């Protein structure tokens, strides 16, 4: 059992330990962000005279070593370490002695986690923004490529009026484009530095230079009110998922379309063998698992989102341990967005358009409304034209 940062003598009951220890897989991934923030913290501590120049150099050396090991896959957290923060501090103390006991000066695990997550968020939101822009281009390309291919338009899942494959793909392009309008505000929202807020009350007797770490971390501003920093744990995570989650709704709706349009009965679209899967019992099957998983992943996503939201929703201000439970679902939800966008970027250009079936499906009922509007164009009131055409359609 590794010693906790706050621990002195008596151990924690093993059941309580097991119950309150988080899953470390998220921390394993997040570690470089903690190193980045800790490095900025060390520079600042040196600048304000809390540690010496030599101590700072030792710390930076330690961070470099940790990152080098990490990148080789050799800095692996153990469950006993509880989180990446403990693992880093232990490494420093073990390899560089006393200075390891100083790196936590002027911060709490609360703001340490906050700033690590903030850097992660900023990275992820930017990356997702880029992928959405790429996907817009992908949908634009297929939309242009198939702009003249007729396709039945459906309402209520019944054939309604004619449309085109181009318009169909363009509708997703438009939806994604509009979504990008929300992202700059979101990036602006999260672009602030919580480091220095400590446990939500700042630090007395030390003159932390929060502007310094803000610049070193390339963040836009100090998140000044320390209680607000504490309140933003989980809250910022939730806001990000609320906004970006709209892309999961779109991918889900696209997958529902694809599942329908790839049935034998519709057969409008298909994918090559390397994209489809088989059955362990039925030799003939070609299954579109990828779209089914996409459809299901949107539900997983909103489950994670609700976990985060429901955790913070019932809490007053200040730090609560429950907030720590938001880390894993946030990382899982972000991963779902990323992998879903990656898959769409790969797959949408590969969709094969089955022109023969599309053409066969352009049946006459799709053109009935046109009949109404031909009459309207000749001056007949809409309601009368509608009723006449209706009567004649059902008479046939």
Is 156 noted as a catalytic residue in this protein?
yes
Q: Which of 36-44, 68-76, 114-122, 204-212 is the region at the interface with a second copy (rule: CB under 8 A)? A: 204-212
| Tokens at 88, concatenated | 């880093």
Is 279 noted as a catalytic residue in this protein?
yes
Residue 312 contacts residue 320 (beta carbons within 8 Å)? no
Rounded to a whole number of angstroms, the minimum distance from the CB of residue 191 to a second copy is 10
Give the residue from 67, 33, 79, 111 showing the smallest Cα distance to 334: 33
Q: Kindly identify the residues of this chain, within the stretch 74-133, that bind a second copy according to CB under 8 A.
A: 98, 100-102, 104-110
**Residue 64 or 365 with smaller CB distance to a second copy:** 365
Kindly tell me which residue out of 80, 161, 348, 353 binds a second copy, with binding defined by CB under 8 A.
161
282 binds a second copy (CB under 8 A): yes
Rounded to a whole number of angstroms, the minimum distance from the CB of residue 212 to a second copy is 18
Give the residue from 309, 182, 303 showing the smallest Cα distance to 243: 182
**Residue 61 or 296 with smaller CB distance to a second copy:** 296
**Residue 68 or 221 with smaller CB distance to a second copy:** 221
How far apart CA 191 and CA 314 sit, in angstroms, is 26
DSSP state of 108: -
Residue 173 contacts residue 139 (beta carbons within 8 Å)? yes
How far apart CA 261 and CA 258 sit, in angstroms, is 5
Beta bridge partners of 151: 163
Mapped onto helix, strand or coil, the DSSP state of residue 152 is strand
Q: Which of 117-125, 134-142, 209-217, 271-279 is the region at the interface with a second copy (rule: CB under 8 A)? A: 271-279
Kindly tell me which residue out of 188, 220, 349, 359 binds a second copy, with binding defined by CB under 8 A.
188
Structural element, H or E, at residue 282? none
Q: Which of 4-12, 31-39, 67-75, 130-138 is the region at the interface with a second copy (rule: CB under 8 A)? A: 4-12
Buried b (16+ CB within 10 A) or exposed e, 164-173: bbbbbbbbbb
Rounded to a whole number of angstroms, the minimum distance from the CB of residue 74 to a second copy is 20
Q: Which of 32-40, 116-124, 131-139, 230-238 is the region at the interface with a second copy (rule: CB under 8 A)? A: 230-238
Token pair 């379309």 is at which residue?
257
Interacting residues of 62 by C-beta distance below 8 A, sequence separation 6+: 91, 92, 95, 96, 100
Residue 388 contacts residue 371 (beta carbons within 8 Å)? no
Beta carbons within 10 angstroms of residue 231's beta carbon: 19
73 binds a second copy (CB under 8 A): no
374 binds a second copy (CB under 8 A): yes
Kindly tell me which residue out of 10, 74, 148, 356 binds a second copy, with binding defined by CB under 8 A.
10
How far apart CA 163 and CA 290 sit, in angstroms, is 26
Mapped onto helix, strand or coil, the DSSP state of residue 352 is strand
Q: Which of 63-71, 72-80, 116-124, 283-291 is the region at the interface with a second copy (rule: CB under 8 A)? A: 283-291
| Tokens at 56, concatenated | 């700072």
Determine the size of the site formed for a second copy (CB under 8 A).
169
Give Cα 302 to chain centroid, integer Å. Answer: 11
5 binds a second copy (CB under 8 A): yes
How far apart CA 293 and CA 65 sit, in angstroms, is 40
Rounded to a whole number of angstroms, the minimum distance from the CB of residue 254 to a second copy is 8
Rounded to a whole number of angstroms, the minimum distance from the CB of residue 68 to a second copy is 25
Kindly tell me which residue out of 24, 88, 337, 343 binds a second copy, with binding defined by CB under 8 A.
343
Kindly tell me which residue out of 75, 120, 288, 330 binds a second copy, with binding defined by CB under 8 A.
288
Out of 10, 13, 156, 280, which one is annotated catalytic? Answer: 156
Residue 323 contacts residue 311 (beta carbons within 8 Å)? yes
Rounded to a whole number of angstroms, the minimum distance from the CB of residue 173 to a second copy is 8
170 binds a second copy (CB under 8 A): yes
Structural element, H or E, at residue 106? none
| Tokens at 291, concatenated | 């779209």
Kindly tell me which residue out of 11, 54, 218, 220 binds a second copy, with binding defined by CB under 8 A.
11
How far apart CA 119 and CA 30 sit, in angstroms, is 10
Q: Kindly identify the residues of this chain, within the stretch 133-152, that bind a second copy according to CB under 8 A.
A: none
Rounded to a whole number of angstroms, the minimum distance from the CB of residue 167 to a second copy is 6
Out of 279, 317, 339, 392, which one is annotated catalytic? Answer: 279
381 binds a second copy (CB under 8 A): yes
Would you name the residues annotated as active-site residues? 156, 279
């Amino acid at each position: 059992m590794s010693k906790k940062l706050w621990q002195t003598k008596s151990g924690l009951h093993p059941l309580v330990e097991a119950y309150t220890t988080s899953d470390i897989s998220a921390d394993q991934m997040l570690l470089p962000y903690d190193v980045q923030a800790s490095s900025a913290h060390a520079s600042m501590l040196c600048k304000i005279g809390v540690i010496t120049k030599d101590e700072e150099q030792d710390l930076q050396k330690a961070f470099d070593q940790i990152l080098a090991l990490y990148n080789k896959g050799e800095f692996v957290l153990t469950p006993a370490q509880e989180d990446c923060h403990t693992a880093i501090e232990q490494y420093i103390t073990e390899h560089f002695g006393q200075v390891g006991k100083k790196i936590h000066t002027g911060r709490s695990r609360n703001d340490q986690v906050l700033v690590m997550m903030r850097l992660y968020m900023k990275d992820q939101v930017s990356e997702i923004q880029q992928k959405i822009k790429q996907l817009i281009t992908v949908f634009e390309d297929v939309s242009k490529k198939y702009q003249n291919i007729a396709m039945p338009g459906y309402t209520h899942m019944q054939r309604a009026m004619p449309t085109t494959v181009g318009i169909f793909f363009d509708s997703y392009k438009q939806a994604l484009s509009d979504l990008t309008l929300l992202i700059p505000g979101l990036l602006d929202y999260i672009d602030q530095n919580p480091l220095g807020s400590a446990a939500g009350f700042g630090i007395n007797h030390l003159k932390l230079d929060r502007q310094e770490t803000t610049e070193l971390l390339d963040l836009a501003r100090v998140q000044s009110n320390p209680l607000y920093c504490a309140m933003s744990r989980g809250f910022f995570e939730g806001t990000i998922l609320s906004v970006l989650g709209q892309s999961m709704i779109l991918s889900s709706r696209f997958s529902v379309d694809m599942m329908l349009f790839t049935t034998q009965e519709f057969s409008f679209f298909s994918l090559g063998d390397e994209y489809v899967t088989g059955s362990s019992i039925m030799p003939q099957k070609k299954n579109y698992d990828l779209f089914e998983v996409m459809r299901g992943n949107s539900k997983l996503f909103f489950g994670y989102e609700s976990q985060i939201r429901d955790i913070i929703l019932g809490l007053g201000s200040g730090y609560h341990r429950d907030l720590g439970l938001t880390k894993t679902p946030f990382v899982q939800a972000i991963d779902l967005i990323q992998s879903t966008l990656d898959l769409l970027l790969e797959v949408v250009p590969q969709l094969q358009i089955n022109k023969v079936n599309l053409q066969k499906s352009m049946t006459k009922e799709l053109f009935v409304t046109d009949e109404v509007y031909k009459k309207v164009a000749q001056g007949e009131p809409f309601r009368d034209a509608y009723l006449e055409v209706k009567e004649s359609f059902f008479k046939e």
